[in-house]
A and B are shown apart, each in its own frame.
Chain A
């Protein structure tokens, strides 16, 4: 027994050292990967949602600026994309600077954007004839660092097209949002195909907050983060953007832990 003890310490010491070396090695590798990923690019700002439950899921504590984000709707919402568009407008309202909004259909109603705090003077619309033209306009606009963000409404987004947008956004620091809008609910199945977007969201309308009197309370959405590069996914029921473009957790859920809320809505959604 007497001899075993020092032998065990001898045995342990190299192991601990090995673990430390491994840790250092991994840290070095991570740093190298980060350097490769951001070679020649400055790290961009982050736009927090101001809702801790959401922000702590995202790798940098908020939505990365200078990246491509993809937002779609659910069910009938995949066709009109109203919730997805207003979710985006809420984020844009909290950025500062001019915005390019490229579209091919003419049904966007600007007063609704003003209703979430996005002033009409900040938005320049570019009406292109089809998806391909929208993507070209987006890419061109993304090269101009003076913009805050570029939004495009398209139905198809190929891996190549999304990668081009992502690279253009990384290079200039302008944030890109692609709103997916399909011609029919069936066509929206395409959303399952992955793209190069940094985050992918699905926003669905949900019954509004209950009021003590008959009427419609503050609208709610089921906000689903279905892909997040180097981050976790999640699903939340949230109150829609207010006049400043801020989301909020519903009152009766705000004091519960995020995990509890997740558990509940992962089942019901």
Chain B
């Protein structure tokens, strides 16, 4: 992770002192492009690149910045975030990628967000910590994903440096002719251990998942967190549920003292085998109702595998918002809050972006007139203007149909769609719709003539002809079906 914002014009490096030498500690993209790598002598670098912008390295500030970034990742992406010092973060995304639209979308979105704050980042995702670490740093593409159970193939061709070994060790291995991870993995283990110790074997086992590698998640002081240890490990679902309720109650008391409500909370289960399992819940509005909070967690308890037992549970208020004390009025309409609870429950089950309301936006093209808004967004003012009826089902994209149209400005006499031929008995139209030239140049001349047609059985369809019938630039004159009326 290149982590320092730079003035865009000059290549930027940070310089650190190592004994009597001053060396490059980190270099930005522009500097790397000029051949300046970390570890190079500063004087040498200055000789190579005249206008080099040099900032003294500040490891303490870097570490603090990484921790702030970790807190951001914790709030946004995963309940389990560990520092991969000095320049990386480790996120446990088990079972959470679908909430962000799949693994590639998750990583690309993450990198795009970091880029907005002028942090250049690379991302790797794999079954093991070691493989993800290696992919993020040494894969050819900035976003590298090893498919489930294909970690060994994904990391095989990566260089030895990806193995998290001591640089001196890597040097001696390379002197023996080892270049890639696959080559080292194919070597008999015993001679290797005899000469280089257990470390290369251990790192290989970690990267291929033969050796468990527990991560040490950060526990930010700034967040309200409650922990409960058990003298005897617990595993029964009822017991887990009971302690979930107890922790929720205790957390809500603390939140009340500070006038806060939960927007996102994590429940962590520390198993006796040192693995940590987690449940994350989110709410649409700040919540400080212990019963509701507990229910959101208990709803998802089945996703937790207690293994041989859970020895400690922690409940953390990851994201909070001010929630003033509110006097409850018996006459108040409670339906609004009721829906918020339902939306939270469903959002934690199917994903928050799968719950939405349809809202009108102004557009001439029918498929662009609907947008999604959050289910609890303030009510919109207008509905769609309705000069013409709109179909109940809209096909996206419109499907081409074969037609027989006798006159240019008339609806077709019949059309064939999905293998069925329908004779048009009645029709209404045309309704002419122009492309939105201010969006894309290709739409400048585009025209569609919409017809509502009814076949002999009474099925009603929405057809359009691309083009105005005269100017070839306005469309290809082909017919499409765009919707089905009730």
Contact = CB atoms under 8 A, between A and B. Distances in A.
B460 A144 contact: no
Nearest to A217: B426
Contact of A146 (B338, B380, B391): B338
A214 B358 contact: no
B293 to A, nearest CB: 17
A215 B429 CA distance: 8
Interface in B350-378: 350, 354-360, 366, 369-370, 375
A141 B342 contact: yes
Interface size class of B (residues with CB under 8 A): 35 or more
A261 interface: no
A215 B342 contact: no
B164 to A, nearest CB: 38
A207 B336 CA distance: 42
A112 B428 contact: no
B392 A124 contact: no
Contact of A205 (B350, B384, B457, B483): B457
Interface residues of A, number: 55
Nearest to A110: B358
B34 interface: no
Contacts of B483: 109
A98 B383 contact: no
B409 interface: no
Interface in A214-243: 214-216, 219-221, 240, 243
A240 B485 CA distance: 11
Contacts of B345: 140
Contact of B425 (A108, A129, A207): A207
Contacts of A98: 335, 339
B458 interface: yes
Interface string A87-130: 10000000001101000001111111111000111011111110
Contacts of B357: 120-121, 123-125
Contact of B370 (A80, A110, A127, A133): A110
Contacts of A108: 392-394
B471 interface: no
Nearest to A136: B349
Contacts of B460: 205, 208, 216, 219
Contacts of B336: 146
A75 interface: yes
B335 to A, nearest CB: 4
Contacts of A206: 458
B459 A137 contact: no
B78 to A, nearest CB: 22
A124 B356 contact: yes
A114 B391 contact: no
Which of B341, B359, B393 has the most CB atoms of chain A within a 10 A radius of its CB? Answer: B393
B386 A115 contact: yes
A216 B338 contact: no
Contacts of B84: none
Interface in A138-160: 140-141, 144-147
B486 A125 contact: no
B334 interface: yes
B369 A208 contact: no
A86 interface: yes
A123 B358 contact: yes
B346 A82 contact: no
Interface in B365-418: 366, 369-370, 375, 379-380, 383-384, 386, 389-396
B370 A109 contact: yes
Given A111-B384, A115-B386, A146-B334, A219 B485 contact: yes
A89 to B, nearest CB: 8
A113 B453 CA distance: 20
Given A82-B486, A126-B346, A206-B458, A111 B390 contact: yes
A85 B379 CA distance: 24
B315 interface: no
B393 A120 contact: no
B427 interface: yes
B428 A215 contact: yes
Contacts of A76: 420, 459
A83 interface: yes
B452 interface: yes
A149 B223 CA distance: 40
Contact of B485 (A82, A141, A207, A214): A82
A72 interface: no
15 contacts: A82-B391, A82-B484, A87-B486, A98-B339, A109-B394, A113-B392, A119-B383, A124-B356, A125-B356, A128-B354, A146-B339, A205-B486, A215-B426, A216-B452, A216-B454
A-B complex: 10 closest residue pairs judged by Cβ atoms: A146-B338, A86-B486, A110-B358, A146-B335, A109-B394, A112-B392, A111-B390, A206-B458, A82-B392, A207-B458
